[in-house]
Each structure stands twice: as structure tokens, then as C-alpha cells.
Structure 1
């Protein structure tokens, strides 16, 4: 009887341990390694992907008029975020660096054009690129522990697309996470190719039809691809949870070519660049 009781108690304790460390719905988000947006989690070991401000950087004056589409989540449309000259330069310097775009799931990289059909290029850090990095930091108020990831260009030909996804990177588990996104259009000599947010509501003012596809039959909103313009959005709430409304896609390009620029900001608490 004593042996049987001891066995029951042991099974009970093991079951509690399994629940806490494997099955608990409270802890599961902190233990899971799966990624929601198809991208890897950045870590201190991979911090070479981050860039840091330069004290002696001299950039030309640049102004643009932001238009706030939503405050919760914060979504802002930025016409003329880049000048035509800046956009053209980034298209030119990216041209020789393109390779097939990949996706990540559970830390495994793969190529799947049914999900992401485009080419990507890591941009060399020219003076213009560094000034655009600085502009993105300035727009966000130089937030502590937030760093810009090196900039990537994305090229989409006819049929090129990226299915709906999040840019979260992680769910704000106290470590790395993409706190914000700029989707910038460098070249938009195309039809189709808009950026679709099915969970954002169409604003009532017809003025937004300058920037949104008001003729679209899709649910939600679709930003038109316009050279030099950008869409900025926040990915996390203050409590660290991700905004479900930021679920978005790059709609298929019908004709022509679209080239986009991704500017992602990462939250790396306590991280500081290595001093030479």
C-alpha cells in the first residue's frame, strides 16, 4: 500500500512539472522557439546585424509631413520619406546584391516562393544609407535600447508577393524584438504590389485615397506603392504583446517591378555597441 501511494505521488509530481514547463499556457509563449513572422530572433551573438549612430555624421536637411492613420496601433503614412535621388541611389547600390528571399520557421531557413516570392539585398552602408538609418532613429525619438537593423531592399517582379505575416520577430519576451517597421517604396513602376492590412479599418476621409487603394475589394486597407513614401507602424503594445492589427502582406505585382526597403528597429535591452 505504501509503495503504491508513493508511486501515485511521484506520478502526480511529474505531471505538475510537465504542465509547468511544457503545457502551461502562461509559460508556453516564453518557451516556444517558433517565429510568427518567418524571421529569426536576433540575439546578442548576432548583434553585428545592428547599426549604431555616428557622432560626426553630416546629413542634408530633410522634411516630410506625417499622416496618422491609427494610434492603436500607431500607423503613420510618410509621403516623401526619401527623396527621389535617395530612392534611386538605393536601387542602384542594391542591384548587384540581390539573392532569393528566404523564410525562417523554428530557426530553420528555407526558400518557399509560395510564401515569399522576391529577391532581397543587404545594402552597403554608404553615406546616404547611414543618413536614412539616422532619420529612422530620429523619427522614433532615439529610444533607449532600440537599434536599427541593417537595411534590406526587396525586389518584386510580376507575380512577386509576400503572404500575410507579422514583423514581430518575437512576442516581447523581455529579449529581442522588432518594435517597429518602416515599409519604404524605392521603385514602384508597377501595377499591384500594394501593402495590405486586412485588420485595419478604412478611415472615413476621402483624403486618404491619395495614399490608400479606395477601389480595392479586399477587407481592410491597402497602401499604394509610391516611390519615396513609407508606412511606419509599431509592432508591440506597452505590455509586450503584439498588435494583431499589424498582420500584413505584400500583394502580388501584376506588371512591372517594385523595389521596397525594410527598416526594422530591434529592442535589445542593455545592449551597447562594442567600443573600439
Structure 2
């Protein structure tokens, strides 16, 4: 290639590039003069800020309806904020897998006993941290050092969970600060409703008695037999109960089931307040 041809080739490349840069510069000057960049940046920052605040702001007010004192069962009206509900549903929408049950200390899939799908939430998620704090505050004086990871569960048509108790016959283990295993079990349970676009799917406690026949039917009621407690799915609300006696043994009266969904979809949220077997269940915790 001659020197002249080389110059022509370079010019043929640089000239269009220069014109493009000039055009972009003129567009940038126009946007700058009319404040378009500032407006776009402000709008983006506002959106990010409002989303961030909505997720990270843990403050929230809810009301408690006492359904039973012996055993302890509360209805938590509006326990989870709508922004928290939407966040949890969004981050887990592609994470669901067949739900498992504990049999002989092992977590296994048994669709004859439980037909649903489950998804876990990372403990570092901001909503997870907020809800952990909210549950600890609700439990109060009962040992509340830690909570299990949030556990979403989805029931389609025909989905159900047979009678079971959240207290486990074989304690699980966490790792202590010194690296040694630390056995624990579940004390307080919250089951919240994130999607109530269904019929059926009530949470049923056959051994919880005393709910009056004129109970708030849109939230909870007696069963059709006149005995037991039925809690109905309502988005954002929840039911809370204590699964263990104060000596750390399981309370068999808290056996419960998820009744079959007859249409639509129910998405719930399991939250478990755990207690360590090396620390009194009620009263001061070690080191405090």
C-alpha cells in the first residue's frame, strides 16, 4: 500500500468517527443546556432511593388478635408490609423446588405427605433481616438469639401439608462462635400469607379450642365440625404460635395442617424463632 493510500484509509476511518463524536458532543450540550441529564439522574436516584428505603425501613405497625392463650396462638393483622411481600415474591420467583419433610432426622421429598414447593431467602437480604428483628421483638422474653432462614412455600391446586408440628423430635445443629456444634429446636412459629389468590388452603389447628362461633370469619374461625381453629389466607397477615413448652419439650397441641387449595395459588412464609438447648428457654441468656 502506498503512503498516499494509507493516508486515505486512515482519513476514511477517522472522518466518520470524528463526525460521530461531534454529533454526540452536540447532543450532550443540548441535553445539558435543557437540564435533561440532571432530570434523568434525579429520577433514577429517586426511584433507587424509594425502593431502597421501602425495603430497608424495618419500622412497621401491626395489630394482634388473641385466638388462644393456652396454647398461645395470635393472629397478626398486617404483619408484613406490601413492599416486603412484593420483594420476597420477586427474589424467589425462580427459586422454588419440591418441599421436603423431616423423616428420621433427614429432609426428604414425600408428596404423599406434603405437596408444595419451597424457596429459601438469603439471611443477608434486607427484608429477611427486618423480619428476623420483627419476630425476635414479638417473641420477647422467650429465648430469641436467632431465627431460621425465611422459607417460602407455594401451594397450587390440590397442594396440601398433612398434620405436623414445627417442633422437631431430633434437634438441628448450628455452629457456635467457637466453631463447635450447638443443638437447637424451634420455639415460636409465624406462618404469613404472601399470596391469597386462592380458595381453600386454610391453616388448620385441630387441637386449638375456644374460638367463638362469632369469630372474625374473614381472618379465622372454627372448623366445620365446630372444633379446632381455621386461619384463612390473607395477604400480609400471619398466625403466630409457640411450639414448645417452657421446659423445651414439644407442645403436641400445636399440630397443624395446610388444607388443600381448591383453586388458585397460595404462597406462605415460614418464620421460626429458635432456641438453643444449652440456654434456658425463658429468662436471661448466657452472656447477658
Fold similarity call, TM over 0.5: yes
Counterpart position of 1:129? 128
- Mark the structure with the bigger radius of gyration: 2
- Would you say 1:220 and 2:218 are equivalent positions? no
Structure 2 CA distance for aligned equivalents of residues 218 and 116 of structure 1 = 26
Counterpart position of 2:48? none
Aligned partner of residue 63 in structure 2, secondary structure: coil
| Counterpart mapping for 1:217-256 below 5 A | 217=225, 219-256=227-264
2:218 to 205, 210, 217: 210
Counterpart position of 2:19? none
Counterpart position of 1:51? none
Conservation of the 8 A alpha-carbon contact between 1:172 and 1:241: no
Q: CA deviation at 1:61?
A: 2.1
Structure 1 CA distance for aligned equivalents of residues 98 and 77 of structure 2 = 29
Structure 2 CA distance for aligned equivalents of residues 114 and 138 of structure 1 = 37
Structure 1 CA distance for aligned equivalents of residues 75 and 121 of structure 2 = 23
Q: Which has the higher contact order (CA 8 A, sep 6+)?
A: 1
Counterpart position of 1:109? 107
Aligned partner of residue 265 in structure 2, secondary structure: strand
Structure 2 CA distance for aligned equivalents of residues 164 and 249 of structure 1 = 4
Counterpart position of 2:137? 138
Structure 1 CA distance for aligned equivalents of residues 82 and 128 of structure 2 = 14
Counterpart position of 1:74? 72
* Residues 112/58 of structure 1: CA separation in 2 closer, same or farther (3 Å cut): closer
* Residues 145/63 of structure 1: CA separation in 2 closer, same or farther (3 Å cut): closer
Q: CA deviation at 1:180?
A: 1.0
Aligned partner of residue 96 in structure 1, secondary structure: coil
Structure 2 CA distance for aligned equivalents of residues 219 and 71 of structure 1 = 16
1:192 to 161, 185, 200: 200
* Residues 215/63 of structure 1: CA separation in 2 closer, same or farther (3 Å cut): same
Counterpart position of 1:164? 163
Structure 2 CA distance for aligned equivalents of residues 64 and 180 of structure 1 = 18
Q: CA deviation at 1:202?
A: 4.2
Aligned partner of residue 127 in structure 2, secondary structure: helix
Structure 1 CA distance for aligned equivalents of residues 262 and 210 of structure 2 = 23
Structure 2 CA distance for aligned equivalents of residues 65 and 104 of structure 1 = 33
Between the two proteins, the alignment pairs up a number of residues equal to: 216
- Structure 1 window deviating more from structure 2 (244-253 vs 107-116): it is 107-116
Q: CA deviation at 1:263?
A: 0.3
* Residues 73/109 of structure 1: CA separation in 2 closer, same or farther (3 Å cut): same
When the two chains are superposed, the root-mean-square deviation of aligned CA atoms in Å is 2.6
Which ranges of structure 2 fall in alignment gaps of 5 or more residues?
Answer: 1-54, 173-181, 280-284
Which ranges of structure 1 fall in alignment gaps of 5 or more residues?
Answer: 1-56
Q: What CA deviation, in whole Å up to 9, does each residue of 1:214-254 have, x standing for no partner? A: 57347411100110011000011122332221010000000
Q: What CA deviation, in whole Å up to 9, does each residue of 1:81-131 have, x standing for no partner? A: 012221121111111111101122112332111101000001133212211
TM-score using structure 2 length: 0.69
Structure 2 CA distance for aligned equivalents of residues 216 and 82 of structure 1 = 29
* Residues 142/126 of structure 1: CA separation in 2 closer, same or farther (3 Å cut): farther
1:95 to 93, 99, 108: 93
